[in-house]
Amino acid sequence: MAAQFVIRRRVEFFDTDMAGIIHFSSYYRYMEEAEHAFFRSLGLSVMQKRDDGVVVGWPRVSASCSFEAPARFEDELEIRVSVERKGVKSLTMRYEFFNGERRVAHGRMKIACCLCRHDAPLESIPIPPEYDREFQEEQGANNE
């Protein structure tokens, strides 16, 4: 089985609709929260300022989420994150949401490594060595 990064999150009232079920948009916030925690677990950040003041960032190229079963206010979800694909300039991340043993949703985000300058367009770049090394190790664990 592939190695996964796991976090837990309680469904708060503001995450739900009038029926007390998670609003679809909350899953996207959960994916981003899990992504940031995953990066931090590797000693990395999704916004790393370089010595020259330019930020290496990871904007989204695409995001999707499919819903399988409702999760409700005060449920505790387990969010499993894995690197599905590592390209030269991007990562595709996979997310699975579990309420107990039941998978309630799954999603995917493709993120691109970019230089973020204050007054210039984003510039996609190859994944820097310090990130690439950590993702290689993570992907190696996923292939065992």
Q: Return the bridge partners of 35, or none.
A: none
Using the structure block, give the residue that is written with the tokens 């989204």: 60
Chain segment 17-57, per-residue pLDDT in tens: 999 999 999 999 999 999 999 999 999 999 999 999 899 99
Is the confidence at residue 81, as pLDDT, over 70? yes
What is the per-residue pLDDT for 119? 87
User: pLDDT band at residue 106, thresholds of 50, 70 and 90?
Assistant: very high
Catalytic positions: 17
- Rounded to whole angstroms, the Cα distance separating 35 from 57 reads 13
Classify strands 114-116 and 55-57 as parallel, antiparallel or unpaired: antiparallel
Which of 5, 3, 21 shows the shortest CA–CA distance to 13? 21
State the average pLDDT for the chain.
92
3.10.129.10, 3.40.309.10, 1.10.1740.10, 3.90.550.10: which CATH number matches 5-142? 3.10.129.10
